[in-house]
Structures are given as C-alpha cells and as structure tokens.
Structure 1
Amino acid sequence: MAQTKPTTTGDFAGFIQPDQAGDIFAEVRRGSVAQQLARQIPVGANGVAIPYTTSKPKAGWVAEGAKKPTTSGGKALRTIKPHKLAAITVVSAETVRANPGGYITDLYADLAEAFAIAFDAAALHGTDSPFGAGNYLAATTKAVTLGTAAATKGGLHADLNAGLSLLVADKKKLTGFAFDSVAEPLFNDAVDANGRPLFIDSPLTETSAIARGGRVLGRQAFLGDGVGLDPVVGFGGDWTKAVWGVVGGITYDVSTQAAVTIDGQLVSLFENNLVAIRAEAEYGWDVADVASFVKYNDAAGA
C-alpha cells in the first residue's frame, strides 16, 4: 500500500506513553527468575555501598565479679555499580499505523523476555556479564548431578537433598531454588519420601510464561527460561546472599530518522519507512558469597 504522506516522528509521539514504562519493567521482574529470588535494593546512578557482616560478636559465661570477655563484630562494604541493558525493536511504519495497540502488547512481551533472560544469563552464568569476574552463581564449586541417585534410593528427591547436604556441611543455608524449564519433565515424574509431587505449584501466585513459581523441599522455587546453561539446569542456595537493583525503570526513545544495524548492516529508518524503539535500563547485581549456592547439573550434559 502506497504511503500518502511523509512519516514523521510526531506520528508516533503517543506510541509508548511514559506511564507504560513502569508496566514494562514489572513484566521484567516477573520474568526474571534471579530477580524473583534475590533481594531487591535501591541503586543510584553512581552505585550503592552496602554493609555486610564479616564476623559476629560472641558471648561467654563468667563467674560473679569476674572479668567479662571482650568481643567485637566485623563489618565491611561492598559496592554495587549499575550497568546498562538495552534492546532496539524495529518495525515498519505501516504496521504501527495498522495495529498500534497490538504491537505495543507484543512489545511488552518481547522486551520483558529479552531483558529478563539477558539479566539471568549474566547473574546466573556470567554470560556477557558486566558485573565482574566470578560474580555469578555458576562460579560456585558445589555441584550435584541430577540422576545420580537411583529411584530406589530416593531419585531426584535424594539428588536435591544432596545439594542441601553440601550447603549445611559448609554452614550455609538453603532458601530457594531456580531451575530451567528443561528440568520440568524431571519434576513432573518425581515425588518426595512421602509420595507427594516434588515440585508443588503455587496456585495463588501470579506467574508468567517465563517463570513458574512453586515449592521444592519446602522452599520457594521457580522454573523459567534462561536459567540453565549446559550442563547446569538449576541452582539452590541462600538467596539472601544475592542482591539486585535498578536505576529508575526502563527508558525509551522512538525514531524514524536514525540508522540502525540490522543483520550486520546499517539501515536508514527514513529511507525504508521504519520505526525503531530503543529501550534501556540500568541494573546492579552482586553475590556476596558464591559458596552459598549449589548448582545442579543434568546427567545428559555432565
């Protein structure tokens, strides 16, 4: 269909309203498995310094009138700096004019999935991570291969419990699990020691297509895309040792005049009657102690 008038940026001034940016960010939070389990903290544009305990004071019994023991607790600071995550979506101007509402709905889902999976890949596996060397969960040396225990010895339940054993032996806690969607068939066939389903859904918890919430071994658990990276299919550990934050929310720019790289080639939006929407957000992530986590490997990929 021929264009009857020149396309201008003003035609798309209301394409994404400012008050909708918050909704896009909310979708990201529900989609990211790491953000579901880790603690969110306020992060400014210049970063944030958070205190953590290096040692705790101890008390001792003393006799009446005897000298009281002197003790102290140690504190230190960890600095979390935000890093930018971005995505550009390109669509034809005709598509925008024909179905703007439908496209915005699709844009929400696309940006949510792209931001969530990119964040989880960096936080869980260090993939393209700007957060620093070793600042991701897969850096832990604790590992259990699923399928190690025979069905007669507890099967998947015993394997998960083996991960708990590694943590408690190192004086660590287990507060939750994160598993990739590829592990779902394993949970569907697994039961605990009492014959109950090992993964128990949380029917009252809102879920998204990316992350499904439930409980495993009595702890909060999520199944989601982008959690695994061969051979790792999941993590368990003390999620209070991991924190994340975001500076503001998602910001965006709409352009019909710029040039963008598509399939490795610089393409003029103006010449090709295209609209580009650029979304950006700044995230911070920090793991205080990777030893507080155990990774679960798939027997097929181990």
Structure 2
Amino acid sequence: MAPITRADFEGFLDPAESAPIFNEARRGSVFQQLIRQVPLGINGQKIPVRVGQTTANWVGEAQRKPQTELGLDLLHIEPKKLAAIAVSSAEVVRANPGDIVGEIRSDLAGAFATAFDLAVAYNVGGDGTGTGPFDNYLAETTKSVTLGTASGAQGGIHADLVAGMRLLVNDGKKLRGFALDDSVEPDFWGAVDGNGHPLYVNLPTDDVSQTIARPGRLLGRPSFMGEGVGHGDVVGFGGDFSKAAWGVVGGINYRVSTEAAVTLNGSLVSLFENNLVAILAEAEYGFVVADTDAFVKYERAAAGGGD
C-alpha cells in the first residue's frame, strides 16, 4: 500500500462536509442564534436590512393614494477570514488519520463561535485582545444600563431590563431579544418580575453540552446565554437583532504540517522535533449591522448594588 502523506489531508471541505463544524459553531454562538443568516459569496453581497417603517393609509374616492417608504436599505456584507491552528500528537493522528478534522471538530467549532461573538459585539479578536474585522459592532451603541442600578424594592434586575427597553422605545427602536453572558446566569435565576414570577425562563434543549448557547425567555422575548457575550464591564445586549445579518462563505480550507514551527504557550515549538502534527483551518465570515443604536448594552452590576 502507498504511504499516507500530508497531501491526503490538505485541501477544502465543501459545505456538505464542513456542515457539522459550522452547525456546532452556530449552536455555540449566541449572536448567530439571534441574528439572521444570509447567503454570502467570496466577493461579498448586498443585502436588504430594515431601517424604517412602511405605512399605509386610507384613501377617499377620487383622492391621491399616499406614498410610503419601503423601510429597507442595502448594506454590503464582506467576508473576513477566521483561522485556527490545532496541534496534536502524531500518535493521535495515526490512530485515526482519515478523520483528522473530525478529531478537532468540537474545539474548532467552539473557537469559531467565540471569535465570531467577540468580533460582532466588541470588535476584538478571538482571545479578547486586538481588533476585530468588521466595520461596526454592537458595543458602539450609545445606550447602556448597569445591572444593579435598581434596588430590590424598585424591581431589581427586572427594572434594569425595562430601563433598557425604555431607552430603545424612546428612541423609536424595538426590543426583539437578548444576548447574555453566562457569568450573569446566577443573578437571573433568582430574579422575579413585579408579580413575583421568575424573570428568566429556561427553554428545554436536547443537548446537554455546556458549549451551546442556551435558549430562554426574558420580558417575553427570546434570549440566548453563553460564552463570548461578555467582555470588560459589559455582560449582555438587548435590542432589534433584525437590524443585523451574518453569513459564511462555502466550506473550510485546511492544511496539515509535521515540519513547521508553531507558537505554543508563548514559545516557538518545532513540530518535527516534538513529534507533533498541526492542523490549520480557515473559514470566511461576514457581518453587518444597520443601526448600532438599535441595541442597549447591559453592564456588570456594581458591588453591593441591585437585587
């Protein structure tokens, strides 16, 4: 039999083959759950995003029919490359070489999901530092509420969430959903509304994995809770997620090397010398938001405040 070479593992996973990785990444991404996905080509695409309100009015006999704006704007969504390098021992590769990408699927999907959410929300890299690739991001909103502003007697977290809704409504915006970091989950489990009912309602899921974005309901709106939503003092967002869109181009490009050097724990390590194998995976994501002020950010509660 001919020996298996690195070339056997290099190339391109088409959309059908890479679907499990992208599906897992989507389930792990809070914002990919809340924001609609659109088709995306290698050269980008113009997509319609609702920016106004279409109206109709009554017309009398022989009177002129009223005009209205369609309330749509065409925005250009452009793909940006996201990459990750996974390193494994040569023994693991030899044990199952034909499924080498499958071996790292969960870790790869989690890395893609976290990097996407941090870029969409804060314009930072997948490790929480540096700069993200997209032109606009949700934390650019001028609206913010600090959880813990309202005392327990004033309504606690429920009142804080309503305060965020009021900022949106007073500006002619809509509250259609919430994205929350899992660091605030303990605060929401103990919170109640003005009638004493649980504020946060967890929706059942058939997946027990803690890496998925967990669905729930807040103020009658869909919410998703997971990693990658919080950064710095911000722990969540509420707003009109129909003002944004995301897409992914094709499948995944990947390459395998046993001879290159990679940086591990801050040091450059020779793969050949240490009997290691590196798998480089790349994909292209796009994101666009029409109106960052259609969102409100919720910041971390001050010490000793709130409910």
- Fold shared, TM-score > 0.5 on shorter chain: yes
The Cα shift of 1:96 comes to 2.6
Which residue is 1:10 aligned to?
5
Matched positions, count: 292
Question: Using the alignment, how far apart are the partners of 1:115 and 1:39 within structure 2?
Answer: 17
The Cα shift of 1:83 comes to 0.1
- The range that moved more, 72-81 or 212-221, is 72-81
Taking only aligned residues, the RMSD between alpha carbons, in angstroms, comes to 2.9
Which residue is 2:67 aligned to?
71
| Secondary structure of 1:152's aligned partner | coil
Q: How does 1:108-119 map to 2 (within 5 A)?
A: 108-119=105-116
- The range that moved more, 16-25 or 271-280, is 16-25
2:227 equivalent to 1:231 = no
Which residue is 1:147 aligned to?
148
| Secondary structure of 1:151's aligned partner | coil
| Secondary structure of 2:272's aligned partner | helix
The Cα shift of 1:54 comes to 5.3
2:127 equivalent to 1:124 = no
Q: How does 1:259-298 map to 2 (within 5 A)?
A: 259-298=261-300
The Cα shift of 1:199 comes to 1.3
Question: Using the alignment, how far apart are the partners of 1:218 and 1:17 within structure 2?
Answer: 43
The Cα shift of 1:285 comes to 0.4
Structure 1 contact 53–73 (Cα < 8 Å) conserved: no
Structure 1 contact 205–213 (Cα < 8 Å) conserved: no
Structure 1 contact 228–234 (Cα < 8 Å) conserved: yes
Q: How does 1:52-91 map to 2 (within 5 A)?
A: 52-53=49-50, 59=56, 64-66=61-63, 68=64, 71-73=67-69, 75-91=72-88
- Could you report, residue by residue, the CA deviation over 1:237-286 in whole angstroms, capped at 9, with x for unpaired residues? 11111110000133322222334344455544334322111111100001
Question: Using the alignment, how far apart are the partners of 2:60 and 2:12 within structure 1?
Answer: 71
Structure 1 contact 251–279 (Cα < 8 Å) conserved: yes
Unmatched 5+ residue regions in structure 1?
1-7
Q: How does 1:184-223 map to 2 (within 5 A)?
A: 184-204=185-205, 206=207, 208-210=209-211, 211-223=213-225
Unmatched 5+ residue regions in structure 2?
125-130
Cα 1:252/1:223, change in 2 over 3 Å: same
Cα 1:51/1:255, change in 2 over 3 Å: same
Percent sequence identity over aligned pairs: 55
- Give the aligned residue type for 1:155: G
The Cα shift of 1:207 comes to 6.2
Cα 1:238/1:76, change in 2 over 3 Å: closer
| Secondary structure of 1:178's aligned partner | strand
| Secondary structure of 2:153's aligned partner | helix
Question: Using the alignment, how far apart are the partners of 2:50 and 2:12 within structure 1?
Answer: 43
| Secondary structure of 1:153's aligned partner | coil
The Cα shift of 1:288 comes to 0.7
Cα 1:62/1:11, change in 2 over 3 Å: closer
Structure 1 contact 236–295 (Cα < 8 Å) conserved: yes
Cα 1:58/1:11, change in 2 over 3 Å: closer
Cα 1:234/1:58, change in 2 over 3 Å: closer
Structure 2 contact 50–242 (Cα < 8 Å) conserved: no
| Secondary structure of 1:253's aligned partner | strand
Which residue is 1:43 aligned to?
40
- Give the aligned residue type for 1:83: K
The Cα shift of 1:176 comes to 0.8
